Structure 1
Amino acid sequence: MSLSFRNEIDITVLLSGATIADVAIKPRNRPPLTRLFAGKPAASLLPVLPRLFSLCSIAHHVAFQSAVEAAQGREAAPATVRRRVTAVVVERLTELLRGLFVGRLALDGTNAPAVRAVMQASALLWGADEAVPPALHRNAVVQIKAALGAMGIAGEEDETLAPGRPLAASVAGCHGKLVSEPEADPSFLTVADDLDIVTRLLADGAAYSDAPDLCGRIPETGVWARRARREAVSAAEAGSAARLKARIAEVARLCAWLDRGDADLDEGVVASYRLGAGKGAAAVECARGRLHHAVALDDEDRVVNFEFLAPTEWNFHARGPLVRSLKGATLATGRQGQDAVRALVGSFDPCVGFSLQFREAGHA
């Protein structure tokens, strides 16, 4: 069985002078899961998932297992659901930190010890299917809070960063380089969209997951969408600096949730749906947005159909939120303008690498 596929997004920004006339996106090639796993026992896929999904592997594990249970007509116990939600939250926190420090601040080693401390402490809380002893949980959270504090991130949902730290400088460096009109009516993916999405996913397969839509609407998902659902934010604020600050605030918010343990987080962090005999689906709110899995099983719990839809397919859709955010924008001259575009692309946090090219529209 070969698991090779092109795991990169190609983005071409077409310029008319200093204005972005259009944006062309060539999506990644996603693994054909039904072709790879048809006829195999559903349980046998769990060890394979981390090889397919190196990022957000816990979210994929939880989504697949929850979808299989729904297809089988089973319902996870509340304690099991709670463990899965906690594991997803821990992974979300570490993936958001990865996005902050791998790439944007990769050459700055100041925070390396603190980042390692978060990753090591988080590893103690990964158990999606095994209970973590309360004392171990408390100690791990104390370590995470201390490490975040060392990075300059407050221990509660707060965008205020300690001055003089690399994160504060990175946020300050995002301002004033890309001028664009805000989206007139931004659209965000919600739990209310789950059933429409998973029904289409099972019915249409890759034809839908490669270019999804909701009655022609291509909503945004991820950190900024979660913030917009919780509080009133202006579309004019949705630049790279605001998105970076929202990511930092969410890291602090997730840490506070792990510390309190009993507070609400987001609606539908893990949700599952039975779609008929032998058919089930699940949605997980992971770092980059809402992830969907849908499965169909035969009478012996072997895979007949297995499809997934990742947040990247919404945010990097050819008519999606990234394109809408860039199209019509005016760039600063020289390298500054191109760097501003790269920063905005990075703030949408794709789950794969991306290449970025700039061309004159007449030469495309």
Structure 2
Amino acid sequence: MNLTASNKIHVRVLLAADVVASVEIQPRVRPPLGRIFAGKQASSLLNAVPRLFALCAAAQQTALLTAIETARDEVISLAKKQHRIALIVTERIMDLARGLFAGHLTLDVASAAAIRSLMSELSALVRSPQRASCPPQREATARIAAALAALGVPNEGRALRSGSPLSLRVAALNEAGLKSAPAAFSFLSAVDDFNIAKRLLGDDSTFCDCPDLEGHVPETGPWARQMTRDRLLLRPFGAAERLMARIVEIARLCAWLEAGAQMDTAEHGIIERYKLGPGRAAAAVECARGRLYHAVELDAHGRISRFEFLAPTEWNFHKRGPLVRNLRGAVLTAPRRRDAVHAVIASLDPCVGFTLNFRELRDA
């Protein structure tokens, strides 16, 4: 069962001449998981989660499992935690690569064989994550890195290979004629977790549909992670910068797996847990699209009395969020302005489909 398949985000861009005057977003209808999960034994839901989420299934399952374990005051071994982090990283690489090629190299016939080989290797690695640090998996990760290199993805810290399919795609996005000023941007990180965790099980029933942090709506995802990790200065940016952040992250995570997937060199905050009171807890998982939250409240019999979740899409496609800030005031200089706006929306990688419409604002 895929609860996200029937939902879409609807985006309408209002234009005054070639300037984006405003952006209207009709958000997706979030799946009613709180109602579906209520009254059920927590442990019985864990195997159902991958069937409920078509995307980031391992991240969703890990978030729920971690929240339940924390609510029960269970202690998790370092080996189990390392295994889960390796699983999340492997799935993140898979999802980032899928979006990279499905969204940017779909029509590149010359790259089709390399892409198929890459996705096959990634799928095999996802199916055997418990041995991610063993020699066979290291060899598989090395093959993945080689396949990425053939498509132009560099080793960590290097530039895209000139003339490669991905370098040409980045160049095309840079020429798309839409750049945004770096105004009032913020980025979601583990520092925000506890505040969000408390609000998930708080009294505000609208928080998960329309979240904010003291009035701000931060961006989450590969570009936000890069900006937070490397402390880069804000500058005019757009779809090309988010694509490069995705490419850099794939290369960096592959290098971590190939080096043995050690806990002491893992990215900070991939899986975090928060105790919120007796039988109450939340978990945060850094997945491909950004930071994912699950929160649970268990009754005395171990049944779920309340469940809340908050996905990256609710931040990035908020009515006052990153997409609106990215587009509002932008000048569309390219003749194919629809493609330029479409690329910005796709760069935020919503977990559901979207529609895009334009409306010209005319003087009376």
TM-score over 0.5 (shorter chain): yes
Q: Counterpart in 2 of 1:198?
A: 197
Alpha-carbon offset, residue 356 of structure 1: 0.7
Q: Counterpart in 1 of 2:174?
A: 175
Tell me the TM-score normalized by structure 1. 0.93
Q: Which segments of 5 or more consecutive residues in structure 2 lack a partner in the other structure?
A: none
Q: Counterpart in 1 of 2:333?
A: 332
Provide, for residues 295-342 of structure 1, a one-character-per-residue CA deviation record: whole Å limited to 9, x for no partner: 11112211111111011110110000110010011112532x221111
- The alpha-carbon distance between structure 1 residues 111 and 45, as it changes in their structure 2 partners (threshold 3 A), is farther
Q: Which moved more, 1:235-244 or 1:298-307?
A: 235-244
- The alpha-carbon distance between structure 1 residues 205 and 138, as it changes in their structure 2 partners (threshold 3 A), is farther
- Aligned mates of 2:310, 2:49 — CA distance in 1: 14
- Aligned mates of 1:12, 1:71 — CA distance in 2: 42
Alpha-carbon offset, residue 3 of structure 1: 4.6
Q: 1:298·1:304 contact (CA, 8 Å) conserved in 2?
A: yes
Alpha-carbon offset, residue 114 of structure 1: 2.8
Q: Which moved more, 1:302-311 or 1:227-236?
A: 227-236
- The alpha-carbon distance between structure 1 residues 103 and 29, as it changes in their structure 2 partners (threshold 3 A), is same
Q: Which segments of 5 or more consecutive residues in structure 1 lack a partner in the other structure?
A: none
Provide, for residues 157-177 of structure 1, a one-character-per-residue CA deviation record: whole Å limited to 9, x for no partner: 33x222332211111101133
- Aligned mates of 1:74, 1:142 — CA distance in 2: 36
Q: 2:13·2:24 contact (CA, 8 Å) conserved in 1?
A: yes
Provide, for residues 173-218 of structure 1, a one-character-per-residue CA deviation record: whole Å limited to 9, x for no partner: 0113334551333211111111111111112475111100011010
Q: Counterpart in 1 of 2:34?
A: 34
- The alpha-carbon distance between structure 1 residues 14 and 76, as it changes in their structure 2 partners (threshold 3 A), is same
1:247 aligns with 2:240: no
Q: Counterpart in 2 of 1:304?
A: 305
- Aligned mates of 1:36, 1:124 — CA distance in 2: 32
Q: 1:21·1:327 contact (CA, 8 Å) conserved in 2?
A: yes
1:90 aligns with 2:90: yes
5 Å-filtered alignment, 1:38-77, equals: 38-77=38-77
Q: Counterpart in 2 of 1:152?
A: 152
- Aligned mates of 1:5, 1:162 — CA distance in 2: 37
Q: 1:155·1:255 contact (CA, 8 Å) conserved in 2?
A: no
Q: Counterpart in 1 of 2:121?
A: 121
- The alpha-carbon distance between structure 1 residues 320 and 51, as it changes in their structure 2 partners (threshold 3 A), is same
1:258 aligns with 2:257: yes
- The alpha-carbon distance between structure 1 residues 215 and 10, as it changes in their structure 2 partners (threshold 3 A), is same
Q: 2:179·2:237 contact (CA, 8 Å) conserved in 1?
A: no
Q: 1:71·1:280 contact (CA, 8 Å) conserved in 2?
A: yes
Instruction: Tell me the amino acid that sits aligned with residue 256 of structure 2.
Output: W
Q: Which moved more, 1:79-88 or 1:108-117?
A: 108-117
Q: Which moved more, 1:70-79 or 1:231-240?
A: 231-240
Instruction: Tell me the amino acid that sits aligned with residue 195 of structure 2.
Output: D
Q: Which moved more, 1:53-62 or 1:3-12?
A: 3-12
- Aligned mates of 1:351, 1:193 — CA distance in 2: 22
Q: Counterpart in 1 of 2:225?
A: 226
Q: Which moved more, 1:257-266 or 1:137-146?
A: 257-266
- Aligned mates of 2:275, 2:79 — CA distance in 1: 20
Match of 1:111, SS state, is: helix
Q: 2:37·2:304 contact (CA, 8 Å) conserved in 1?
A: yes
Provide, for residues 243-284 of structure 1, a one-character-per-residue CA deviation record: whole Å limited to 9, x for no partner: 111111111111111111236243210001111111111001
Alpha-carbon offset, residue 5 of structure 1: 6.9
Alpha-carbon offset, residue 53 of structure 1: 1.2
Instruction: Tell me the amino acid that sits aligned with residue 304 of structure 1.
Output: S
Tell me the TM-score normalized by structure 2. 0.93
Q: 1:94·1:118 contact (CA, 8 Å) conserved in 2?
A: no
Provide, for residues 65-85 of structure 1, a one-character-per-residue CA deviation record: whole Å limited to 9, x for no partner: 101101111121111111111
- Percent sequence identity is 47
Q: 1:22·1:328 contact (CA, 8 Å) conserved in 2?
A: yes
Q: Which moved more, 1:201-210 or 1:1-10?
A: 1-10
Instruction: Tell me the amino acid that sits aligned with residue 248 of structure 1.
Output: I
- The alpha-carbon distance between structure 1 residues 39 and 175, as it changes in their structure 2 partners (threshold 3 A), is same
- Aligned mates of 1:41, 1:128 — CA distance in 2: 28
5 Å-filtered alignment, 1:263-278, equals: 264-278=265-279
- Aligned mates of 2:179, 2:140 — CA distance in 1: 43
Q: 1:18·1:333 contact (CA, 8 Å) conserved in 2?
A: no
